[in-house]
Structure 1
Amino acid sequence: MQSATSPTLSDLRRTLAEAALRAGPVAAGRVGLGLAEIDAVLSGGVLRAALHEIHAASAADLAAATGFALGLALRAAGKAGEAAERPILWARQDFVDVETGRLHAAGLNELGLDPARLLLVRARDPEGVLRAGAEGARCPALGAVLIEPWGEAKPFDLTASRRLSLAAEGAGVMVLLLRVAAREAPSAARTRWRVASLASRALAANAPGAPAFRLSLLRQRGGAAECEWRVEWDRDRHCFAERTAFDRLPHRTNHAPPLSRPLVSLPGDGSPAADRQDSGLRRTG
C-alpha cells in the first residue's frame, strides 16, 4: 500500500467495511495474558479497547517484541475456530522489511496465527503506517491492530497517540504500537512495555523450545508499573506462562540445557524483501 494514494486507502476502507458486516458484537473489558501474576498487576489484563505501546529492547530484540505483540493480538482476537475469532490488521513500514525481512507464513503459524486471518498493509513511510492503523482502529470487526513504523516516527506524537487511543476506545479494538529503534516519549498509551528475547528451553533432541521473553512493564496508566517477568508463549493454549511452569509439562524435557543464544519463533524470514514473495498472506492495497 502506498501511503499517499487515496485509491489504496479506499481499498482498505472497503475491506474493513466488508469485515464489519460479518462481525458480531464487540467484546469489552480486559484481555488477560494467561499468567495470574501479571494479570493481577494489570487488574485482570490489558484493556481491550485501548492503545498499548511495545518497545523492542534493541534492534536484535524486534522478533521478541513482535512475538509478544502477536500473542496479545491473538488473545484479543480469539483462537481459531472460536465464535470470537476476528481478523488482525498489521500496518508495517516497508523499511522494516528491508532491515529484518518480510513476514513469513510458516513463522506466523508457529506462533499460532493462521496467516489467512491477517490483513497486511505496507506503507512507504510512518505517515502511511499511522493512517492505515487509524483506519483499522476505527473498525469494530477487527480483533486487534498492529502498527509498526521504523525508528523515530515524527508523525507519532502525543496528539497522534490520543487520536489512536480515542479510535480504539470507540470501536472496542486493541491497538498495539510496535516500536524499534525509537526512544520512549509521552503518549496516550494505556501501557508501555519493553521486550527482550530470552534463551529458549530446548525440547527433545535439542529442538527449539517455546518462544521466551523478558517483559518489562514500564508504564500503566492508573496502575502499578516498573515490573518484570520472564515468560514463554504456549501456542497450543494461546497464552503466556511462567518459564518454570514449562519444566513441569510432560512433553518437555526437565534437564535439557538452554540453547546457546536467545531464540524466538521468527515471523520474518530474514531475507531481503526484494528477494522474497509473500507466502500465504492476505494483502490489502
Structure 2
Amino acid sequence: MKRNMGWEDLRLFLAVAKAGGLSGAAEKTGVSAATLGRRVSSLEKSLNVRLVEREARGYQLTAEGRDLLLHLEDMDQAARSIATWRESGRVRRRIRISAGGWTSRLLIDNIAGFWSPGSDWVPEFLTDLRNRDVARRQIDIGVRNGRPKQAWLAGQKVGHVEHAAYRARVVPSGGEPGWIGLVEEEAHFPTGLWLKENHGEEVDITVNNATLALSLVRKGYARMLLPTFVGDAYPDLLRITDPVESLTTERWLVMHQDERHEPAVRHAVSALAKMLKQNPLLSPGP
C-alpha cells in the first residue's frame, strides 16, 4: 500500500459506490466517468485489492469494497461535520499585519473603516523594530514605505506619509521648548538623523521610541517631528514647519505573490487599501 494515500481517490470511490456506477457518480461529483474509472483502478492498485466487479449494468462492490465503504462513510460524515463547523463562521483566517508603531496605532484607531466582527478574517497587529519578513510568511500583510523589490512579493500603493514638526499650542512659561531626540535604533532612522542634523544642539529629552514622545509634546515640554497623520489629529498641537520633503515616503501594502489571491488575504488587502487611501488621522482621544 502507498504510504500517502490521497483522500480524493477515496472520496471518488465513495461516490461511485453510493451511485452504483460511473455515470451516476460523474453527475454527482462533476468528474468525468473516464476519470472516475481511472481513479478507482488507481485506488485498487494502491490497496492491492479488487474493490468492484465491473459489470454491464454497473459496478458491484466486492467484499473488500463493502468493508472499505463502511470506513469511508465514517470519514465522510467527519468531513461533513468539519465543513459545517467551518461554514458556521467559527473558523476565520487570522491575518497578521505588520507596521511601524505610528501606523499600527493608525490602523487600530480606524479599525471600523476596514474590519468588522462579521468579516471572514480577523486581524493580528504586530509592531516592533524588526522588518518582519513577508517572503518567509512571518506575516501576511506588511505596511511598508516602498514598492517591494523581490519578484515573489506583490504590492499595492495606498498613499504617502509626510512628517512635520509640532509643538503644543499652549506651552509653559519660560520660552520656546526644546526638542525631543531619538536614541538607540531609532536614532539611525531617517527621522532620527534629521533631528540630529537640524536640531541636535536643541535636544532636551531623548526617547528610544518616537511614540513615547507624544504626551510630552502635547504638554508643551518639547517640540517633535511627527507624521502629519499623528500631529494633525490633535487640536492642541500646532504644526510649526511645512512637511519635510526629504522625509516623505510612499505607503505600500505588501503581501506574498502566492497569497494575494487567497480570499481572506484579498479581502483584507482590499479593505485596508480603501481605508488608507482616504488619508485617515489618528483618533486623538483625551
Q: Same fold (TM over 0.5)?
A: no
Provide the TM-score with structure 2 as the length reference. 0.23
Larger Rg: 2
* Greater helix share, structure number: 2
Provide the TM-score with structure 1 as the length reference. 0.23
